[in-house]
Amino acid sequence: MSKPYLSIERLTQQFPDGQGGTMTVFENASFGIEKGEFVCILGHSGCGKSTIMNILAGLAEPTSGVVKMDGFGVSGPSLDRGVVFQNYSLLPWLSALKNVIFGVKARYPKWSRARVEEHARQYLAMVGLEGDVVHRKPSQLSGGMRQRVSIARAFANHPKLLLLDEPFGALDALTRGTIQDELLKIWGGTEQTVFMITHDIDEAILLADRILLMTNGPFARVAESVEITIPRPRDRTSIIEHPNYYAIRNHLVQFLGKRSKELSGKPSEGQDQRPETVRIDLTAKEDSQPDPDSDGAPRRLRAVND
Amino acid sequence: MPSVTLSLNQRAALLSIVMLVVGLLIWEAAIPAQKAATELTEYERLMGLGEARAGVPPPSQVIAKAWEQLSNPFYDAGPNDKGIGIQIGYSIYRVLSGYLMAALVAIPLGFLIGMSPVAYKALNPFIQVLRPISPLAWMPLALFIIQDSEASAIFVIFICSIWPMLINTAFGVAGVRADWVNVARTHELGAFRTAFTVILPAAAPTIITGMRISIGIAWLVIVAAEMLVGGTGIGYYVWNEWNNLDLTSVIFSILMIGVVGMMLDSAFGLLQRTVAYVE
């Protein structure tokens, strides 16, 4: 079997528990992400999502395990892996434009000043920031605008992998909706591979090709990989009418509400912890194999990943 | 009657002027007039009281002195008679040379201490012991080692201005938010570019605050140092006029010390505003 574009292999993170022992956040976690895929990871607080994110970004070292991108092991932060943080992480002494230029200059040090600026302006325009607004400092921008700048900075650098750490967590629901749409638009034009942490089920369904579900920690694991069988382009008002929407949503809610607890706390005992692929597709009923359970519950067609 | 509304600043300025005028009037009125020589008794004349008595001068005399001095600040009539501009020039020259040397040492060293917890812990005991030493206590040692009073005064300025800059730089650098450093890391910036494009602007307000405190202390110390080393400078001028019993000049130079100190401070205040940012 061919390796996925981004391959996380037997990743383990342990911390000292303060009493001389160790606390295992997750153990032997293994999963992959294909090129151009948009993957969201959902799970309760403390399950280690952010730790995985920091390891992928190169800002933290795992206790053991490797991350391979395009066949090469990665270590340390790199321009190939762009990060959008929840708190925007804009440099407050630079204007919005200069913040994006800061990133572009780091990525393309040989470009002329004019080219760097034009490129930065182009990406700011993609997230709807044009005109005088780009000369404002982050403190003079609303939370939504700051996150737009942060997204523009990340996309402008064309990273091989874009990591989004709860990018909309600090925004109000309406702003969040608008920026989700913008993210979808900008992502649609770039074939960018995206890995995103979120707490918002609807956001994950709207954005993702696949949702990874994590059980609670300690000994958390990526238990399931749920395919979002809703065709793109998606639209927040029309996806809820798609027959698969509530089936998928119910599955996710049920996992986070119940099974994330039931499945937690089990050491891996040296086994690879690979997520089980879950495909829920009510529209494909006619050409799927006869369904054994027909008790009205949402149909799940399961296939093991490898 | 039309009502006149003054802004807060206008009212404050008005009040300042009133306080100044009232203060000067009280001062002027409090100085007893000297008796004319003809009204003195024989005994008083024998005691030398007919001479112009050295008393605290009234503000009118100080203002007249200020006018006289400031209308020709750069005259030079020998070692003990130089214009106020020349004296202040010497003092500023000494302050700035000692201060710049201190900045050249303190800011890079503060960066190092701020970036490295080991360096911080290793240097901290030295800083804690050296910092509370009155800068003038170094003077005898400096005079002995350097063998030059001019350089010793500059050394004293150096040693007194180094600490606030060093401590503030270390504090500012250590306090740079991890998020901003992570931005530098995810953009693969090298150590030097991280230092100059992220850490320096992030820590700049704290560093400039340290520099502002330092220039204030340096200006305080130069007056005392020049009283000790003598020769030139505003501190020497004050002491020399005291020896001449010219209290008018003493009061005038005290005011000049205040004005120059204020100007140095406002220059750094301006600098502080240009590097300030809102998170």
- pLDDT tens readout for residues B74-113: 888 887 788 899 999 999 999 999 999 999 999 999 999 9
Minimum Cα–Cα distance from B277: chain A residue: A93
Amino acid at the residue B62: V
| pLDDT bucket at B35, cuts 50 / 70 / 90 | low
Q: Rounded to an integer, what distance in angstroms lies between the CA atom of residue A97 and that of residue B279?
A: 17
Q: Rounded to an integer, what distance in angstroms lies between the CA atom of residue B81 and that of residue B18?
A: 36
Taking the CA atoms of residue B165, residue B171, residue B176 and residue B178 in that order, the dihedral angle to the nearest 10 degrees is: 150
Q: For chain A, which ranges sit under pLDDT 70?
A: 1-2, 268, 270, 284-306
The distance of A118 to chain B (nearest Cα, Å) reads: 19
A93 touches chain B (CB under 8 A): yes
Query: Given phi > 0 = left and psi -120 to 50 = alpha, else beta, which region is B147?
Result: left
Contact at CB, B182 and A137, closer than 8 angstroms: no
The distance of A89 to chain B (nearest Cα, Å) reads: 6
A86 touches chain B (CB under 8 A): no
Query: Which one-letter DSSP state was computed for residue B82?
Result: B
Angle at B173 between CA B172 and CA B179, to 5 degrees: 105
| Per-residue tokens: A55 | 């390891």
Contact at CB, B202 and A106, closer than 8 angstroms: no
Contact at CB, B186 and A107, closer than 8 angstroms: no
* Residue ranges with strand state E in A17-120: 22-33, 38-42, 64-69, 72-73, 81-84
Return the HEC string of A168-216: CCCCCHHHHHHHHHHHHHHHHCCCCEEEEEECCHHHHHHHCCEEEEECC
Report, in this order, helix, strand and coil percent for chain B, each rounded to 5.
75, 0, 20
Contact at CB, B185 and A91, closer than 8 angstroms: no
Q: Is the peptide bond before A233 cis (omega within 30 degrees of 0)?
A: yes
Contact at CB, A77 and B275, closer than 8 angstroms: no
Question: Rg of chain B over CA atoms, in angstroms?
Answer: 25
Q: What is the count of residue pairs from A and B with beta carbons less than 8 Å apart?
A: 53
The set of residues, in sequence order, having a beta carbon less than 8 Å from that of A278 and lying 6+ positions away, is A224, A225, A226, A227, A251, A300, A302
A79 touches chain B (CB under 8 A): yes
A53 touches chain B (CB under 8 A): no
User: How does strand A6-16 pair with strand A22-33?
Assistant: antiparallel
Collapsing DSSP states into helix, strand and coil, what is residue B76? strand
Asked if A51 contacts A13 with a C-beta cutoff of 8 angstroms, the reply is yes
B187 touches chain A (CB under 8 A): yes
**For residue A8, what is the enclosing H or E element?**
strand A6-16
How high does pLDDT run on average in chain B? Answer: 90
Q: Rounded to an integer, what distance in angstroms lies between the CA atom of residue A214 and that of residue A223?
A: 6
| Residue A2: per-residue pLDDT | 66
B88-229: CATH class: mainly alpha
For the segment B150-170, the average pLDDT, to the nearest whole number, is 95
User: How does strand A38-42 pair with strand A193-198?
Assistant: parallel
Contact at CB, B186 and A77, closer than 8 angstroms: yes
From the CB of residue B176, how many other CB atoms can be counted at a distance below 10 Å? 20
> What residues in A contact B204, CB-CB < 8 Å?
93
Query: Given phi > 0 = left and psi -120 to 50 = alpha, else beta, which region is B134?
Result: beta
Sign of CA dihedral B256, B262, B263, B265: positive
The set of residues, in sequence order, having a beta carbon less than 8 Å from that of A183 and lying 6+ positions away, is A151, A167, A207
Query: Which one-letter DSSP state was computed for residue A234?
Result: P
Prediction ipTM score: 0.82
| Residue A296: per-residue pLDDT | 42
| Residue A288: per-residue pLDDT | 47
> What residues in B contact A102, CB-CB < 8 Å?
187, 197
The distance of B163 to chain A (nearest Cα, Å) reads: 27
Minimum Cα–Cα distance from A87: chain B residue: B179
Contact at CB, A87 and B189, closer than 8 angstroms: no
Q: Rounded to an integer, what distance in angstroms lies between the CA atom of residue B222 and that of residue B206?
A: 24
What are the counts of helices (DSSP H) followed by strands (DSSP E) for chain A?
8, 12
According to CATH, what is the number of the domain A6-80+159-303? 3.40.50.300
A62 touches chain B (CB under 8 A): no
| pLDDT bucket at B231, cuts 50 / 70 / 90 | confident
Contact at CB, B186 and A58, closer than 8 angstroms: yes
Q: Rounded to an integer, what distance in angstroms lies between the CA atom of residue B91 and that of residue A145?
A: 51
From the CB of residue A291, how many other CB atoms can be counted at a distance below 10 Å? 10
> What residues in A contact B187, CB-CB < 8 Å?
79, 102-103, 106-107, 157
